[in-house]
Each structure stands twice: as C-alpha cells, then as structure tokens.
Amino acid sequence: LPHSQGFPPFARHLSPRPPPSTMSADKWAVLKDGASSIASQGDGVPKTRTCSFDPSALPFDHKTHTGVEVQPSDQLFSLVLSHLSKYGTVVEADATSFRMSQAEKTSGGSKHGSCCGGAAGCNSDAGPSLGNISVSLGLGVFRFSHRGQELRALHQQIGDPVGTGCGAQVLSGLVLFREGVGPTAARVIQEFLSELLAESERTAKNTFQVYRWHIKYQFWQRVSRVVARPVASVVLPAETSQMLVDDLEEFLSDGTAQFYQDHGIPYKRSYLFYGVPGAGKTSMIQALAGKFGRNLCYLSPTHPELSDDSLKSAIEKVPDNAIVVLEDVDALFGKGREKKIHQSPLTFSGLLNALDGVGN
C-alpha cells in the first residue's frame, strides 16, 4: 500500500508535414500583435512552436492572462474535459460544444445508471437512462469558475490528421487561462488541477476505482468504477478472511503509521495471494479495497514492454489510497531466478528494487 504523489511526465512531438513550395508561411501561423508562435527558416526546415495556442482564436487579450498547457498524454487532460462537461460547470453561453461516446461499463452498477455527470440535467421520469453515453467537452473556449475565481479553457486541435494504429487522428491541445500574470495566477490553476486530481482518486461509499498502468505514456489510467462486495461474501475460510482484515486494520492504524515514521521504515504492506484459479484471490482483493476505501491499481509485470525503469516508475506514481495488484508474478521467474518469459525486459533484481528498493 504505497503512498506517493506526483503527476505523470509528458512529452509531445509536433511535426506537421512540410508544406508544398506554393504554400506561404501565413498558411501555417496566424500571428497577432507581433506574437511569434512559429519560427520558419524556409521550405523543408522544421518549424518551432513557441506558443501553445493561436492568439487570434481567443476572445480575450492573452497578454493579460497566464496560460497553463495540459498535455493529452497526462491524466489531467481527460479529467479536466470530463469535469467541464458536467452540467452547470461551464458558463451557459459557452456550453455549445460537446463530444459524446459510449460510456465505460461499471461493474455491479445500478440498473438505470447515472446521467448526473453529463452536460444535461437529470430527470429520471423524462425518459430512458442516459448513463450509457459519456459526455466530454468539445472544441472551443469555455469560461468556468473554481472557488470564486474565473478561469478559461481552450480545447483545440493542432496540425493535420496523421495516421496511427487506430486510424487518422488530430493532435488535441488544452490550455487553461487565468486573468493576471505571474505566480499568483498560475497558482489558482494549480490548485484547481490539484483538487481535480484528488477528487478523481477519492473513493465513494461502497465503490472503488480501477487503474491500469499505461506503458506508452507512463501514467496510471483510470478505467472503471466498481461496486465493492462485502468481505463475508468471498468464499474463503472464515479465519483466513478475518486474519487479513485484522492485519490491515492494525497496519492502517495511527499507531502503526507513527511507528513506521519514527523508525524510518517505508510505510507499506505486501501480501502474496496464491491458489488455483477461482479460489477467491481477486475477489478478496476487491472486497478489501471496498472495506478500507482503497482504489485498485492493476499492473501486469509480464507485459513485453514493461522494463525495470517502467515498473519502478509505476510503483513511485501510484495514486493515493491505492492497493497495487501485480498479476501472475509466478509466471516471471523460476526457482533459479531464470526468466520464464524471454521477451520480457524485466529482470529479477529490477522487480525486487521496484518493490523494496530505495525510495519506494
């Protein structure tokens, strides 16, 4: 049960296709008031972006505002878009652009679902449930408030469509603005993002959230919300279940936490669950997560792209109040520490360092 904080790193590479010789530089950039957003040195030479947005697309003077860019590979990107799509969050005059898709399936959810997170108001008597449709923010500039402070969000698309493994896609961008310049204005946006992240990791009564480690972008991706089951519903010997519950209750007590801190011991607890398929290992983990209000972070160490560094980064960036579940660890190494999966870059020492190394 590690306790760590931090945002996932991000990287973005924008490399538009070189324009034909007949295309002028004006086609590539719209500059306003002398602001230089793209530097060009001639045909065939890569363009360098020094501004994360097109100033002419903003209905306000960007020079009097502080802007904070959120990368698409960052977990905050989807959290902000989802938050702004909630009913009543964005100023009504700006709530004119949304995206809709099939909603994620929740395990053990209610029959009628929930539409309260969407862009329209809830009325259970008005018609069929809208819980099967996910609503997110569309493109445009949106005004909203956080703790009495007015903020603006620019959701944009950058460049031409490019081919990916999932078809043609256009790079998306998100920039948050706060009136004023300097650290004070930036801190208002930082506080908004911090509260949004903390809220996403908070468990609701009788539910917990499931995360999976995103190998490519190196962050914990929230995939679903699950309704917790009682510990008593797991078919295991009563003494086994009670032993686990008692041990976790003692570990999570204030006295135990203070003992670990006083002696400089990493505050975490590890269990090895073993048994035949269907013995109740996963069910017990989920029941414990529900009982103690913890989220579950699933990590597959047998993934062919999970290296020592990636595993260590995953452990260091686990969301608050979470239980990390390493699946099928017995499939990694033999009794002599030899690899069972030869295409896996993970080493035995790398696994030990990630679980019990310095800083974890």
pLDDT tens by residue, 186-196: 999 999 999 99
End-to-end alpha-carbon separation of the chain, Å? Answer: 11
**pLDDT per position as a tens digit, 58-79:** 999 989 999 999 988 787 888 8
**pLDDT per position as a tens digit, 100-129:** 888 766 554 444 344 344 444 444 444 567
Amino acid 182: pLDDT? 87
Q: Using the 8-state DSSP alphabet, how is residue 44 labeled?
A: T
pLDDT confidence band for 144 (50 / 70 / 90)? very high
pLDDT higher than threshold 60 for residue 24: no
The answer to whether the CB of 137 falls within 8 A of the CB of 153 is yes
Greater pLDDT, 112 or 167: 167
Amino acid 5: pLDDT? 45
Biggest CA-to-CA distance, the chain: 78
**pLDDT per position as a tens digit, 346-356:** 999 999 888 88
pLDDT higher than threshold 60 for residue 329: yes
pLDDT higher than threshold 50 for residue 31: no
pLDDT higher than threshold 80 for residue 41: no
- 123 has which bridge partners? none
Amino acid 347: pLDDT? 92
The whole-angstrom separation of Cα 355 and Cα 269 is: 10
296 backbone dihedrals φ, ψ, rounded to 5°: -110, 130
Amino acid 299: pLDDT? 92
Residue 335 CA, distance from chain mean position: 36
Amino acid 39: pLDDT? 46
Amino acid 35: pLDDT? 43
| Of the candidate ranges 5-14, 87-96, 155-164, the one whose mean pLDDT is the lowest | 5-14
Greater pLDDT, 169 or 146: 146
- Rg of the Cα trace of the chain? 24
Environment class of 318 (CB within 10 Å of its CB; exposed 0-12, middle 13-18, buried 19+): buried
Q: Which residue has the tokens 């045909």?
A: 43
Q: How many CB atoms lie within 10 A of CB 337?
A: 12
Under 8 Å CB-to-CB from 346, ≥6 apart: which residues? Answer: 301, 306, 307, 308, 311, 332
The whole-angstrom separation of Cα 8 and Cα 197 is: 12
**pLDDT per position as a tens digit, 121-138:** 444 444 567 778 888 888
Amino acid 15: pLDDT? 39
Amino acid 112: pLDDT? 39
> What is the H or E stretch that residue 354 is in?
helix 348-356
Going from the C-alpha of 198 to that of each of 6, 191, 244, 295, the distances in angstroms are 11, 11, 28, 12
pLDDT confidence band for 93 (50 / 70 / 90)? very high
The whole-angstrom separation of Cα 347 and Cα 351 is: 6
Amino acid 13: pLDDT? 39
pLDDT confidence band for 184 (50 / 70 / 90)? very high
Amino acid 22: pLDDT? 38
The answer to whether the CB of 57 falls within 8 A of the CB of 156 is yes
Amino acid 252: pLDDT? 93
DSSP string, 192-245: HHHHHHHHHHPPPTTEEEEEEEETTTTEEEEEEEEE---GGGS-S-HHHHHHHH
Residue 93 exposure: Cα atoms within 13 Å on the Cβ side: 1
**pLDDT per position as a tens digit, 260-310:** 999 998 888 999 999 888 889 999 999 999 899 898 999 999 898 999 999
What is the phi-psi region of residue 21: left when phi exceeds 0, alpha when psi lies from -120 to 50, beta otherwise?
alpha
Q: How many CB atoms lie within 10 A of CB 213?
A: 24
Residue 320 CA, distance from chain mean position: 12
Amino acid 204: pLDDT? 67
pLDDT confidence band for 48 (50 / 70 / 90)? low
> What is the H or E stretch that residue 161 is in?
strand 149-164
Greater pLDDT, 316 or 33: 316
Q: What is the pTM of this model?
A: 0.56
Average pLDDT over the chain reads 79
